[in-house]
Amino acid sequence: MATLQLYLVAFTLFCSVLGGFVPYDYGFDIARHVVRRQSPLVVRGEAGRGVVLRQEVRQLEQDADVWTLYLLGLNLMQSTDQSVPTSWYGLTGIHGIPHKTWGGVGPVPGSESTGYCTHSSVLFPTWHRPYLVLYEQTLISLIERIANTWPEGEERDRYTAAARRFRIPYWDWAITPPSGQSVLPLSVGGSAYVNVNGPVGSQRISNPLYSYTFKPLNATAFLQRPWNIWTSTLRAPTTNDDTAQSNNSLIARNLDHNLSSLSQRLYILFSNYRNYTTFSNNAFIGVDNASYDSLESLHDTVHNLAGGGGQGQPNAQGGHMSYIPYSAFDPIFFLHHTNVDRIFAMWQAGNPQAWIQPQPARMPSYTTYRGQIQDSSTFLTPFFADENGSFWTSDGIRDHTRFGYTYADLGIGPNISRRATANVRKAINRLYGGSSAASLFMKANSRISGGNQPNGKQTDSSGLTRGVVFTGDRYREWIVNVRVRKQAIPEPFSVHVFLGDVPSDPQQWSLTKSHIGMVGVFSSDEFYGMSTGQLDVSGTVPLTTSLINKVIARELASLEPRDVKKYLGAKLCRRVLGVSGKIYDVSQVKGLVTEVVSSVVKAPATEEELPEWGRVQSHFQMR
């Protein structure tokens, strides 16, 4: 693939000069002008200044002026003194390490060594929303300041207009990238330095999307090796010592190979998850066979993919994104979470009645005890709603447009009408339906164009739809439900599923067609005060696309249980791989249950509908 070549070229060109952070030189101390300590730091977004679209990162890049401001704004935020609460370090440090009080919002006793973020909690999607808004409003104020440093007149007008068009971009890791490109955009993983044509001319600066360089690294706050020797954020680090470099080409390859699995999971989440409690987070609460997946579990898998580790790099663990306490320092974190917020907003549009019902917190945070009941009026700390020190709640942020942003795929902006719901469904089919059998049916009906076939193969979909895969408009979806103790092993890990032979060397996994998917478990050990006790988490690995390819290849007669159960019984395998590269004996992995389930699904007749799932039945447990 062309991008991988580019990644490799970029890698060899730049790895020797990594390490030194290069800010844009404005010719005066711009940072001095932007450091205004507001106390408390109120999260307002751009309320009152119009609702502007947050765009996909590759689309934002097409708008050259806005892109220039975005890179300069991030570079300036990363240059800002780490003691400033709205510096890169100050903001990203809210999530986990350095376990410091932010905005004067102190810890509850016993939670001093935890971050503020909420995971395995009904507040997972809602807590991250004001967090993103705080980051967005900070970036916008820097960008406005930068735009005003262009010479007065036409140029300054151009850039101040561009600043008004800016909202933070999202990175959609579940859409088919433009031909010849990777799921990992080159702007994010291509090179450590980038040329930017700023107010005083073109300069080569550190690419603020590639990594953050600590200024300086606080080795005391970073607790243990290798975190306390790594001076920049890393993806798929090449070693565990201070010579480590990122290997973004490895991350790109793994993301590309997992694309079909990620988009199938997303499409199923949109189609068959209607209950906020199960949709929102990965805690396994034993509800039914149909709700093992969640927005959070899918998000966890992307964290593990973006941080890397476990495969391809001998003698190295995963990078920052693979570990909850360190993940937010990597610039890809906000791109990823903006996409999570967008998925949440799209899901809300399709399920306007669904909302938070009280649940106990499954793990502690800086301001939460484990077991504390959380509901829609629980404070989302440390995010202030006004200058008097009130906090935002989930009810308060339910409508994201109050912060002055929205997403194009919501159809018609803030108006969540029946029409908008139909528009969201259209977007879901167009963007993520391509990897689902449902699209074969719609295609055969010629009601939808575009989209990719399973595994990119051109198939005679009309032949398949008659009899073999479909009976009328019905077909059967197959899934592996995965459930495991969150802290089953003392490192983040992934549960991998294969159809066929499993190479003994995990470095070979991404090269084998038999690898069909994985569930990433984004855990961190007790060491970080994030004890999750007996908590089990769950996720899914969809099988349907792979099974259809077996039907096409005539290795499997149909998707009916009598054929599929026999086939899977002989071919289905699982492995548990830690980010350190260690393969664990599955019998030693606490709480691990992998179960094959299926459901009859009614394919949508039009692009304004989603598949309708029947009851999900369980067939057998993998051994």
Ligand X SMILES: *[C@@H]1O[C@H](CO)[C@@H](O)[C@H](O)[C@H]1NC(C)=O
Return residues touching ligand X (CB under 6 A). 98, 218, 220-221, 238, 247, 249-250, 253-254, 257-258, 261, 275, 277-278, 287-289, 305, 311-313, 357, 386, 388, 415, 417, 419, 509-510, 515-518, 615-618
**Nearest residue (CB) to ligand X, 16 versus 220:** 220
DSSP at 410: G
Exposure string for 292-309, b = 16+ CB within 10 A, e = fewer? bbbbbbbbbbbbbbbbbb
DSSP at 535: -
**Nearest residue (CB) to ligand X, 480 versus 616:** 616
CB of 202 to ligand X, least distance (A): 30
**Nearest residue (CB) to ligand X, 62 versus 357:** 357
CB of 87 to ligand X, least distance (A): 12
CB of 515 to ligand X, least distance (A): 4
Name every residue whose Cβ is closer than 8 Å to that of residue 567 and which is 6 or more positions away in sequence.
547, 550, 555, 556
Q: At how many degrees (to 10) do helices 248-272 and 418-432 cross?
A: 140
DSSP at 468: T
**Nearest residue (CB) to ligand X, 114 versus 278:** 278
CB of 201 to ligand X, least distance (A): 34
**Nearest residue (CB) to ligand X, 285 versus 589:** 285
**Nearest residue (CB) to ligand X, 37 versus 151:** 37
- Rounded Cα gap, residues 411 and 417, in angstroms: 10
35 close to 129: Cβ distance less than 8 angstroms: no
Q: Which amino acid is at 93?
A: G
CB of 606 to ligand X, least distance (A): 18
**Nearest residue (CB) to ligand X, 468 versus 583:** 583
Q: Counting Cβ atoms within 10 Å, is residue 259 exposed (0-12), middle (13-18) or buried (19+)?
A: buried
Strands (E), 116-192: none
Strands (E), 310-362: 359-360
CB of 264 to ligand X, least distance (A): 11
**Nearest residue (CB) to ligand X, 150 versus 613:** 613
CB of 283 to ligand X, least distance (A): 10
Distances (CA, A) of 562 to 6, 470, 517, 614: 47, 16, 23, 18
**Nearest residue (CB) to ligand X, 51 versus 221:** 221
**Nearest residue (CB) to ligand X, 211 versus 258:** 258
Q: Which amino acid is at 615?
A: R
Element holding 373 (H helix, E strand): strand 373-374
CB of 598 to ligand X, least distance (A): 9
Q: Counting Cβ atoms within 10 Å, is residue 39 exposed (0-12), middle (13-18) or buried (19+)?
A: exposed
The count of other CB atoms within 10 Å of the CB of residue 69 is 26
- Rounded Cα gap, residues 89 and 216, in angstroms: 10
Q: Counting Cβ atoms within 10 Å, is residue 332 exposed (0-12), middle (13-18) or buried (19+)?
A: buried
Q: Which amino acid is at 462?
A: S
CB of 289 to ligand X, least distance (A): 4
Collapse the DSSP code of 414 into the 3-class scheme (helix H, G, I; strand E, B; otherwise coil) and give the result: coil
CB of 433 to ligand X, least distance (A): 19
